Amino acid sequence: MKPKILNNVRIVDPSSSADFVGSVVIEKGRIKEINEGTEVNKDSTEYEVYNLEGKVLAPGFIDMHVHLREPGFEAKETIESGTKAAVKGGFTSVCAMPNTDPPADKAATVKYIIEKAKEADNCHVLPIGCITKERKGEKIAEYGELKESGVVGLSDDGDTVMNSLVMRRSLEYAKNYDLPVLTHCEDEALVSKGQINEGYYSTILGLKGMPNEAEDIIVDRDIKLAALTGARLHICHISTREGVELIRKAKDKGLLVTAEVCPHHFSLTHEAVVSFDTSTKVKPPLRSEDDVEAIIEGLKDGIFDIIASDHAPHARHEKEVEYDYAPFGISGIETALPVTFTYLYHQKSLSLEQIIEKYTVNPAKALGLNIPSIEVGAVADLTVIDLDETKEVIKEDLTSIGKNNPYIGKELKGWPVMTMVEGEIKYIDEEVNKNAKD
Amino acid sequence: MTISRKDLLNMRDLSAAEVNTILDTAESMEEIIYRDVKKLPTLKGKSIINLFYEPSTRTRSSFELAGKYLGADMVNMNANVSSIKKGETLIDTARTLEAMGVDMIIIRHPVSGAPGLLAKSVNARVLNAGDGCHAHPTQALLDMYTMRKKFKSFEGLNVVILGDIAHSRVARSNIWGLIKMGAKVTLCAPNTLLPVEIKKMGVNVTSSLEDALQFADVMMALRVQFERQDESFFPSSREYAKYYGLNKEKLKHAKDSLMIMHPGPINRGIEISPEVYDSENSVIDEQVTGGVAIRMALLYLMGGEYDEAQNS
């Protein structure tokens, strides 16, 4: 692998509050040199040189909520296809949720995922283990062995641990191994057979609604259990105004609570469902304008540490059915960054540094990983972004097997154009590649 | 005369002018129903499929007779017992029907939005005969047809829709249609059967039947959809009948001219007592006749080829 030079690029690194135009030299998978304001000229027969004028260089982005579907649901996605989509989406690391078949409740399954990720060789895959055996919500899984095999957190995502005692024991026991518990908050009885947000659109469309309270009740419960146990709780995909307030209060109290929000929950409202397009069917559902406003406020205030895609790909035939029959989920890993830049950066809700922080430093902190940074000696996991690139989302261009994406046909501004993992370019935009090479 | 849209999916999309066109056309169609020889060549050579994913007697027969009176070739396809059991999806079925050269598809489906999915998948014109709790436009049109016959105009007409609003596609379609035409709509039901934010549709809401009866010109009782209720929406049929069932005693609070309607089939003794069903105020049988006229009107108005370019 030839060493690389990235010239004339705006380097933005929240870990050191760096923001300057300069150049970076990468050798043997690590950052060897950083120069402010200076173009590096070296023998181009020995170095691959990229002129990235006008682009932003950030530490490698982490998507801490991804469903890779393998093992068990390879028709929806494989580790190979999912990680290829991830690097195209600008991510150098992804957390793989454990609702596979078999679920990742044992070391053998976790090792299989890690092995498959190595074979695919696209980006880092950080497995999440199950909270409970077989994800049944009854008995906690073997966290010691799961941690030894490589998990970075625990979750029964897709389902809530409805038994409060089991959840308490999970939080207590996870503390032994300093693992965060990632919670999916949904009161199953109150959600019932809900398909979309309960509100005006569920009423006029005649689709069964899921009230905000179904989410809020469990958020409240799990925060209380985090306070009781002193454990690390990470709250996944918040979608309600009350949820934002509950997390705000938890943080004010100094609890070890982190929280994430998904791009579709700050960019779309339940009005999107009016076409009965099943790519709008997601859990938690797309909520009201008032909830979206609260989510954006929560992002501004730092209530949400993390933005994560909740990438949930499904096979075409599963989504091309009547609304009630379609599975929940958006295949969003390739549009997470452009949606974020379009709806938060270009609409001036968040600064570039804040956005990068929510995709790099904060997820790393929540998971207890090394903080991604651009400094000499650091692993060259890097993401390059063109904030001004405007492009329509085209179904055929999506790399993920899942094409269930509600932004298809929409124009988004701000796209990842290069993703480098351990010094190797895993994705580069064709145009950028053509124009960037000196 | 035609309707300038490929499909008839809901009342929300129809303009007031289109509603008037459909109701006016139905008036001239009704006369045919009473003829000795009920056969016109209007739709001769056209093939229409009744694609029903839910059991139905009156809507399906009504469409079938309407099509036959106008000379179309009608085929009934009960999807519950055919290919769907073998795992065929709605889109697969649509492609199959398209390949058979069908001109119009009338679909009833238990899931909201299914007719729209079908309409996107075929060139044939699609008529919604009821989808989930979403829409039942032909029922709303026949209800409005029955009301207009007596009251001549919808302007200021007080219509009360009573009962299981939460699960009723009939209620939703009537609300869109009646409000568009100038009527005042009040919904009356126990709170558990009133969906959230329903007032945003422009209706009044009450849980008191006595109050609602006092000003109603039309009282449309809905069928309690026990088959859609897997939760406890009210404690018992007995209690429902006591507080929300129409009987002679309760009608003492109503105008003498009150029109009583029901989309059928009726849970007798629950929504309406037998004596009220048989009273002069009831137009339930007239609704059925109007149903055939409305469906004839729609098949006639939509029977021609749809030229997207011309209508864009």
Confirm if A130 and A91 have CB atoms less than 8 A apart: no
When pLDDT is cut at 50, 70 and 90, the band that residue B309 belongs to is low
Contacts of A392 by beta carbon, 8 Å cutoff, 6+ apart: A409, A410, A411, A412
> What is the structure's pLDDT at B113?
98
Burial class (CB in 10 A: 0-12, 13-18, 19+), A430: exposed
DSSP per position, A298-357: HHHHTS--EE---B----HHHHSS-GGGSPP-B--TTTHHHHHIIIIITTTSS-HHHHHH
pLDDT at residue number B228: 65
Residues on chain A touching B134 (C-beta within 8 angstroms): 205-207
Q: How far is A67 from chain B (nearest CA, A)?
A: 26
Considering only CB atoms, A321 lies closest to which of B12, B90, B198, namely B90
Instruction: Tell which residue, B291, B311, B242, has the closest CA to residue B106.
Output: B291
Nearest alpha-carbon partner for A156 in A176, A127, A136: A136
DSSP secondary structure letter of residue A28: T
pLDDT at B251: 94
Secondary structure letter of residue B223 according to DSSP: -
For A100-115, what is the mean pLDDT? 98
What residue of B is the nearest CA neighbor of A189? B231
Whether A289 contacts A267, CB under 8 Å = no
Q: What is the DSSP string of B120-173?
A: HH-SSEEEEEEETTTB-HHHHHHHHHHHHHHHS--TT-EEEEES--TT-HHHHH
Contacts of residue A280 in chain B, CB cutoff 8 Å?
none
Work out the pLDDT band at A39, boundaries 50, 70, 90: confident
Contact A199 B196 (CB under 8 A): yes
> Which neighbouring-strand residues pair with A259?
A235
Length of chain B in terms of residues written: 312
Q: Which residues contact A313 (CB under 8 A, 6 or more apart)?
A: A67, A69, A76, A77, A82, A329, A331, A400, A401, A402, A404
Q: Which residue of B has its CA nearest to A325?
A: B111
Query: Tell me, what's the pLDDT at A38?
Result: 79
Residue B84 has pLDDT above 80, yes or no: no
- CB burial class (10 A; 0-12, 13-18, 19+) of residue A176? exposed
Q: Searching chain A, which residue's CA lies closest to the CA of residue B169? A: A206
A317 shares contact with chain B (CB less than 8 Å) = yes
ipTM over 0.90? The verdict is yes
The tokens for B29 are 């169609």
Token pair belonging to A70: 């393998």
A274 part of contact set with chain B, CB < 8 Å = no
Query: For A276, which residue in chain B has the nearest alpha carbon?
Result: B113
pLDDT at residue A340 greater than cutoff 80? yes
Q: Cβ of B134 and A317 within 8 Å? A: no
Question: Where is pLDDT greater, at B40 or A165?
Answer: A165
CB contact under 8 A, A324 and B169: no
Range of lowest pLDDT (A190-194, A255-259, A434-438, B42-46): A434-438
Which residues of chain B neighbour A206 with C-beta distances below 8 Å? Answer: 112, 131-135, 169, 172
Chain B closest CA to A32's CA: distance in Å?
A: 56
Residue B197 touches partner A, C-beta closer than 8 Å: yes
**Percentage with pLDDT > 90 across chain B:** 79
Confidence label for A41 from pLDDT (cuts 50, 70 and 90): confident
Average pLDDT value for residue range A17-27: 97
- Alpha helix segments (H runs only) across chain B: 16-33, 58-69, 90-99, 114-121, 137-151, 169-180, 209-215, 237-244, 274-277, 284-302, 308-311
pLDDT in tens, A208-226: 999 999 999 999 999 999 9
What pLDDT, on a 0 to 100 scale, did the predictor assign at position B233?
A: 86
Closest Cα in chain A, distance from residue B114 (Å) = 5
User: Helix B90-99 vs helix B114-121: angle between axes, to the nearest 10 degrees?
Assistant: 40
Q: Are A260 and A249 in contact (CB under 8 A)?
A: no
| Cβ atoms of A315 and A401 closer than 8 Å | yes
Q: Report the share of chain A in percent with pLDDT over 70.
A: 100
SS3 call for A161 = coil
Inter-chain touch B90–A198, beta carbons under 8 Å: no
- Cβ contact A232:A172 at 8 Å: no
Q: Structure tokens of A12? A: 């933005």
Residue A97 reports pLDDT greater than 70? yes
- For residue A185, pLDDT over 80 is answered with yes
For A347-386, the DSSP string reads TTSS-HHHHHHHHTHHHHHHHTPPPP--STTSB--EEEEE
User: Which of A193, A209, A322 faces B196 most closely, judged by CB atoms?
Assistant: A209
Contact A60, A38 (CB under 8 A): no
> pLDDT tens digits for A356-402?
999 999 999 999 999 999 999 999 999 999 999 999 999 999 999 99
What integer pLDDT is reported at residue B2 of this predicted model? 64
Across the interface, whether the CB atoms of B132 and A198 are under 8 A apart is answered no
Mean pLDDT of the B178-189 span: 98
pLDDT band at B87 (very low <50, low <70, confident <90, very high): confident
Contact A322 B91 (CB under 8 A): no
Structure-token match 């490929």, residue found: B6
For A179-196, what is the mean pLDDT?
97
A377, burial (CB in 10 Å: exposed 0-12, middle 13-18, buried 19+): exposed
Q: How many beta-carbon pairs under 8 angstroms link A with B?
A: 65
Interface residue A198 vs chain B (CB under 8 A): yes
Please indicate if any CB of chain A lies within 8 Å of the CB of B262.
Answer: no
Please give the share of chain B, as a percent, with pLDDT higher than 70: 93
Residue of A204, A277, A288 to mutate, testing the B interface (most B Cβ within 10 Å of its Cβ): A204
By the 8 A CB rule, do A371 and A356 touch? no
- The answer to whether the Cβ–Cβ distance between A321 and B89 falls below 8 Å is yes
Residue B33 has pLDDT above 60, yes or no: yes
B133 interaction partners in chain A (CB closer than 8 Å): 206-207
Nearest beta carbon to residue B113 from set A199, A211, A322:
A322
Active-site residue identified among A105, A222, A291, A310: A310
Question: Can you give the pLDDT at residue B230?
Answer: 65
Q: Do A207 and B133 touch (CB under 8 A)?
A: yes
Q: A229-244: per-residue pLDDT in tens?
A: 999 999 999 999 999 9
Give the gap in angstroms from C-alpha B179 to the nearest C-alpha of chain A.
14
Give the 3-state secondary structure of B46-78. CEEEEEECCCCCHHHHHHHHHHHHCCCEEEEEE
* CB within 8 Å: B111 and A323: yes
Question: What sign does the CA torsion over A24, A26, A30, A32 have?
Answer: negative
Burial of A178 (0-12, 13-18, 19+ CB in 10 A): exposed
Which pTM value belongs to this model? Answer: 0.94
Known catalytic residue at A310:
yes
**CB of A124 within 8 A of CB of A372?**
no
Spatial contact of A6 and A384, defined as CB atoms under 8 Å apart: yes
- Chain A residues lying within 8 Å of B132, measured CB to CB: 206-207, 324
- Helix, strand, coil % in chain A, rounded to nearest 5: 35, 25, 40
